[in-house]
Amino acid sequence: MDDWNAFQRDLVVCRSDSYGGRVNSGVNIQSRNAFMIPDVRSAFDVTIHLPAGTPSSPVQLQSIFAHIQDFEVSIDDLQDRVTFNYFSLNSMNMPVHAGSLVARRALYIHSSNAPISGSFKAIGITLDAANGEITANASVASERDVHLRRTFLRPSVRLSSTNRAIAANVSLDGQATVGGNVQVEARTTNAPIDLAIAAPETARMAVSTHNQFAPTRVALPDTYVGDFALYTMRGWQQPVVHFDREHDGRGRAMRVSSFSDHRVSGDVRGPGSPPPTRFDFRNRVSMSAQNGDLDLYL
């Protein structure tokens, strides 16, 4: 039952204290009876309106750091009209969905007992959902601003969960890999991992996955040239590398250097590829599992 007078007495709205040396620019919204049972405590929505630019001239905002519990978080499809420097969100018990979220540097979202979904773009992307599914389109952006490059922020996509599935499409910008490999990681337990990566030929990547008691599938772009290693402990079947040389449009060749019931490793080379050097940022993919099938598509 709605009771406006009781709601006004219960609601607390105030500016937050400075935290971690950051300039105070926050708002704290809470119920005085937050620990009461759900049937009698206050419930309300919070809507934040942001100024919007255009894809060619987005509004560039500074950082957002938020801690939210028992609120469903829905972020509009910003489509490059609004970008953030850093974006960090900690949530609990309710889903987080982003139509489109862009950070110029890093983006971090953590959720407990609820899923994370949406489209995300940044130099560094971390999605961590304990007991929650992750369904994401993740795009690793390049940073052409020399001043931001001095921060030594490594391009990366890190996806982790427990007891829930991870399904992600990861897109790499060839410019983002200048000076090193893009780190792409996916880890969960008791649920499948399905990871698809799109990248130009100039991209350099280091892909790793780990799972327990569930299958893992990784699909690499047809431009991939580099190493692979798959290992399973007490798996249901041998790790499988899927590659059709006869129909490969780029004339690549696969070489298997090690093969057993639980392991397969080797590399893929293009026509005329020189042998790797000691200082070469060579593409590589590493997949491991315990009691779970591994499938790699080249």
DSSP 44-68: ----------BTTB-EEE--EEEEE
Which of 157, 184, 214 terminates a domain? The answer is 214
pLDDT, greater one: 246 or 206: 206
**152 lies in the same domain as 91:** yes
**29 lies in the same domain as 108:** no
pLDDT per residue as tens digits for the range 230-239: 999 876 678 9
Q: What is the pLDDT of residue 254?
A: 86
**113 lies in the same domain as 229:** no
**84 lies in the same domain as 128:** yes
Nearest to 254 by CA among 230, 237, 278, 281: 230
Q: What is the pLDDT of residue 68?
A: 80
**151 lies in the same domain as 113:** yes
What SS3 state is found at 147?
Answer: helix
**38 lies in the same domain as 148:** no
**243 lies in the same domain as 282:** yes
Which of 180, 214, 248 terminates a domain? The answer is 214
Domain count, the chain: 3
pLDDT per residue as tens digits for the range 38-56: 555 556 667 777 777 887 8
Q: What is the pLDDT of residue 287?
A: 95
Q: What is the pLDDT of residue 145?
A: 44
* pTM over the 0.75 mark: yes
Nearest to 88 by CA among 71, 111, 70, 72: 111
| Dist. CA 122–CA 99, nearest whole Å | 15
pLDDT above 90 coverage of the chain, percent: 41
**158 lies in the same domain as 247:** no
**144 lies in the same domain as 32:** no
**249 lies in the same domain as 292:** yes
Which of 185, 214, 243 terminates a domain? The answer is 214
pLDDT above 70 coverage of the chain, percent: 75
Give the H/E segment covering residue 265: strand 263-269
**132 lies in the same domain as 178:** yes
Domain that holds residue 197: 52-214
Q: Is the pLDDT at 27 greater than 60, yes or no?
A: no
pLDDT, greater one: 195 or 78: 195
What SS3 state is found at 45?
Answer: coil
Nearest to 135 by CA among 102, 165, 171, 93: 165
**23 lies in the same domain as 72:** no
Span 11-38, mean pLDDT?
55
What SS3 state is found at 181?
Answer: coil
| Dist. CA 145–CA 138, nearest whole Å | 21
pLDDT per residue as tens digits for the range 140-180: 987 654 344 445 678 899 999 999 999 999 999 765 555 56
